[in-house]
Amino acid sequence: MKPEPLYQAEVTLEIPFHDLDPAGYVWHGHYAKYLELARCELLKQFDYNYDAMTRSGFFWPVVDLQMRFIKPLRFGDRVIVHAALEEWEYRLRIEYLIRSATDGQRLTKASTVQVAVNASTGELCLRSPDILFERLGVPA
C-alpha cells in the first residue's frame, strides 16, 4: 500500500465553454491549466508558491507531463482536481486525479515533474535546494 503523500490539495472547477474544441469536449491543452491550478494550491500548503520560488533564487520548470484521459470533460462539468506531492528530494513529482464533483468518477490521471534551476546561473540543480526541505519541514 502506498503511503499518504506529505502534502496534497484540491480545487473544484466548472468547465467553461471557451475551453471546448469543435467536437464539444475540453481541448487537451487545457488540462495542463487545470493541473496548474491544483499545483498552485498545493504549493501554498507549504508556503513555496512561484513567487517564493523566485525569491529563493530558483525556477522550477515543468520538464515532464504525463496524462491519461479516461473520460472527456464537457461544458459545465464540475470537477475536482486533486494534486499530491510524491517526490521532492531531487525533483518535484506531483500526481493528479481529476474526478467528477457529482459522483466521484475518475476522469483523468496525470503527473508532472519539475526540477530546480538556479536563477542566477541557469544551471540545473541535481538535488532539490535546502529551501524546499525547509518549507516542507523535512530533513535535507
Q: What is the pLDDT of residues 45-99, one digit of tens each?
A: 999 999 999 999 999 999 999 999 999 999 999 999 999 999 999 999 999 999 9
Taking the C-alpha atoms of residue 90 and residue 114, their distance in angstroms, rounded to an integer, is 9
Q: Is residue 118 part of a domain?
A: yes
Residue owning grid cell 518549507: 135
- The CATH number that applies at residue 88 is 3.10.129.10
Q: Give domain status of residue 53, yes or no.
A: yes
Q: Is residue 109 part of a domain?
A: yes
Closest CA to 79 of 18, 31, 20: 31
Tell me which residues are annotated as active site: 21
**Cα–Cα distance between 73 and 65 in angstroms, integer?**
19
In a domain, 2, yes or no: no
Look up the pTM and report it.
0.94
Q: Does the residue 23 lie in any domain?
A: yes
Find all residues with CB under 8 Å of 116, minimum gap 6, and list them: 58, 59, 60, 91, 124, 125, 128, 129, 132
Identify the domain containing residue 115 by its residue range. 8-136
Cα distance between residue 21 and residue 38, in whole Å: 22
As for how many domains the chain has, the answer is 1
* Domain presence at residue 114: yes
CA 48 to CA 39: how far, in whole Å?
11
Q: Is the pLDDT of residue 12 over 90?
A: yes
Q: How confident is the model over 28-38, as pLDDT tens digits?
A: 999 999 999 99
> Is residue 1 domain-resident?
no
Asked whether the beta carbons of 26 and 84 are under 8 A apart, the reply is no
Give the dihedral sign, CA 14/20/23/25: negative
Kindly state whether residue 127 falls inside one of the protein's structural domains.
yes
